[in-house]
Each structure stands twice: as structure tokens, then as C-alpha cells.
Amino acid sequence: MILVSGDVERHIRAEGEKWYPDECCGFLLGQIDESGRRRVEDILPVPNAGQAEERHHRFRIEPDDFMRAERQARLRGLDVIGFYHSHPDHPATPSEYDREQALPFYSYVILSVRRGASAEISSWELSGDRALFNHEELECAAQHRARKRRY
Ligand SMILES: [Zn+2]
């Protein structure tokens, strides 16, 4: 399970809309507790390093940006626990390309952006054999509060 605060969710949505019709991308900085629950504390946006004509349906992150993100996370007592990217005018489900590029362990948060407006958001984890992406339960703090109010 991955927990995303309201601020982090808003930030991801803003990035997706800002870069539309290209895919936005960046890192999820956070912590993993003893039970394996992941909490995203912040995001670190980075430029989509893909070819200009590919950026509307693919994202690429430079190895240098990865190293910088890990350093920044460590300085703040956090870890890089995953990546986020957007799917302009496509559902928030991983593409075949996403699966081929993905690494085990990390969470992959995908935001759908439709006609420039952010839509559904989901999270995915690569299976151990890298054959498929499994849906990871994503909980947004805003939803959390709403549920608490109801009971
Ligand atoms: Zn994708």
C-alpha cells in the first residue's frame, strides 16, 4: 500500500497538467515502514529526457537525475521509493514500454491527464519476475479524512 498526502497529490496533478500534452515524470521521496507500507513525503520533478516526438507517450529519466534524487532524498532522511509519470489522454495503467523500463521494488504512480485536466491516479509494482505490473493500493490523505468523517 502507498499513502500519498493531499499536498503531494496536488503537486503530481499540477505537474501532469503543466507538461500536457507531454508526459511529466519525477521521483517519489518517502519512507517504507516495517509492515511494508509506503508513505510519499514529497516528489521531485525532473525533465522528461525522451525524444521530443516521443514525450507524449513515453518518459525517460537520466541516470544523473536518478543519482541526484537519491542524494537529495538521503539528505532529508528519505528514500527514493518510486516514480510518477503522466499519461496524456490515456488511462492510468502502465504501457508495455513502462513495464519493460521498470525496476523491481519501486512504486510507479501514474496520473491520467485528459484534455489537459488531471484525472484518475493509480500505483503499480513490478512482479518479482518482471513479467507484469501489479496494481498497488493507493490511498490519498484527502480520501482518508473523508472516510473518517463518515464514521
Ligand atoms: Zn507510462
What would the pLDDT profile of 1-18 be if each residue is shown by its tens digit? Answer: 999 999 999 999 999 999
Q: What's the CA-to-centroid distance between 24 and ligand 1, angstroms?
A: 10
Q: Mean pLDDT across the stretch 109-131?
A: 96
Measured CA to CA, the distance from residue 121 to residue 73 in angstroms comes to: 23
Residues of the chain above pLDDT 70, percent: 93
pLDDT at 27 over 80: yes
Measured CA to CA, the distance from residue 86 to residue 135 in angstroms comes to: 16
Q: What's the CA-to-centroid distance between 120 and ligand 1, angstroms?
A: 14
DSSP 86-109: EEETS-SS--HHHHHH--TT-EEE
pLDDT at 149 over 60: no
User: What domains, with CATH codes, occur in the chain?
Assistant: 2-150 (3.40.140.10)
Write down the pLDDT at residue 143: 52
Q: What's the CA-to-centroid distance between 39 and ligand 1, angstroms?
A: 22
Residue 133 cell numbers, joined: 505490473
pLDDT at 109 over 70: yes
pLDDT at 74 over 70: yes
Q: What's the CA-to-centroid distance between 4 and ligand 1, angstroms?
A: 19
Q: What's the CA-to-centroid distance between 71 and ligand 1, angstroms?
A: 25
Write down the pLDDT at residue 151: 43
Q: What's the CA-to-centroid distance between 62 and ligand 1, angstroms?
A: 16
With contact defined as beta carbons under 8 Å apart, do 23 and 58 qualify? yes
Q: By C-alpha distance, which of 27, 140, 127 is closest to 81?
A: 27
Q: Give the three-state DSSP class for 145.
A: helix
pLDDT at 147 over 60: no
pLDDT at 44 over 70: yes
